[in-house]
Amino acid sequence: MSDVRGLLAAATQRLGERVDAEALLLHVLEKPRSWLIAHDTDSLDADIVASFEALVARRAAGEPVAYITGHRGFWSLDLHVTPATLIPRPETELLVELALQHLPVGQRLKVADLGTGSGAIALAIAHERPQAQVSAVDVSTEALQVARGNAHRLGIGNVRFLEGNWMTPLSGERFAVIVSNPPYIEAGDPHLARGDLRFEPAGALASGDDGLDAIRHIVSTAPGYLEPGGWLLMEHGWDQGPAVRALLITAGYLDASTAQDLEGRDRVSGGRHPGLIFPG
């Protein structure tokens, strides 16, 4: 029963997800995914089995796999994550793709990532555009520690990390692109009390009765921090595209538009701001 195949079958039945069972076993064994291909019938030591069972129990109690293993892949990067940070989602890679479209290779452009969490977005952009100067902001000291650690481990040097609320630590600066994956879930959404979301930082998820408090704040303040013609791009919920575009248009942004994620759902909206507005 304690061969790899048997252990994974039992854990898969308990967790309902083979991919979770595999991730936990590979974490205990400190092996890459490719290891599984040729080791189906290996039998494992009792201490390994016990460690694995303990992690399976944590997952069965609801804890997200990424918090148990401490890692999550995003873009091409392996990121350290803790309960102080949101777990990076694959759909957020769309925000990175769109930002890169506005950042020609080889130019020393300035980029800001508001609410950086684990640093996922800022680090992916900085990695793809080594000439860009990326500023990553978060209000959480603990999250910034995780993000700084990720930059250090990945050897990404063109990001600086600043503590504060949204634009506050960026006073007097102008950016070619401002990106954010802000909290955007409605405060009363029952999903917040279910699944992985229960374990994630509430401040990174929920934002007022309609979920748009953070986005409204960012849309209204970003013009004071964008270069003329600079782009603001924000992730949001699948049903918030029209509302976010309306906010952008009302605030004077041009070319307001929404892009869909791989599942065809509205996911990122943005626009460019035409002129200088002074923060205040």
- Minimum CB distance to ligand GLN smaller for 44 or for 124: 124
Cβ–Cβ < 8 Å for 240, 214: no
Determine the size of the site formed for ligand GLN (CB under 6 A): 8
User: Could you tell me if residue 194 is left (phi over 0), alpha (psi between -120 and 50 degrees) or otherwise beta?
Assistant: beta
- Integer CA distances (angstroms), 207 to 97, 185, 192, 203, 204, in order: 25, 6, 12, 8, 8
- Lay out the site mask for ligand GLN across 131-170 (x = CB under 6 A, - = otherwise): ----------------------------------------
Which residues in 214-243 contact ligand GLN (CB under 6 A)?
A: 235
Question: For residue 173, what are its two tokens?
Answer: 């600066």
Among 14, 39, 89, 148, binds ligand GLN (CB under 6 A): 89
Cβ–Cβ < 8 Å for 273, 223: yes
Query: In angstroms, rounded to a whole number, what is the distance separating the alpha carbons of residues 51 and 43?
Result: 15
205 binds ligand GLN (CB under 6 A): yes
Amino acid at 30: E
Among 116, 135, 181, 269, binds ligand GLN (CB under 6 A): 181
84 binds ligand GLN (CB under 6 A): no
- Minimum CB distance to ligand GLN smaller for 7 or for 204: 204
Query: In angstroms, rounded to a whole number, what is the distance separating the alpha carbons of residues 141 and 149?
Result: 12
- Minimum CB distance to ligand GLN smaller for 18 or for 194: 194
Query: In angstroms, rounded to a whole number, what is the distance separating the alpha carbons of residues 62 and 235?
Result: 26
183 binds ligand GLN (CB under 6 A): yes
Range in contact with ligand GLN (rule: CB under 6 A) among 68-76, 133-141, 152-160, 177-185:
177-185
Q: Which residues bind ligand GLN (CB under 6 A)?
A: 89, 181, 183-185, 197, 205, 235
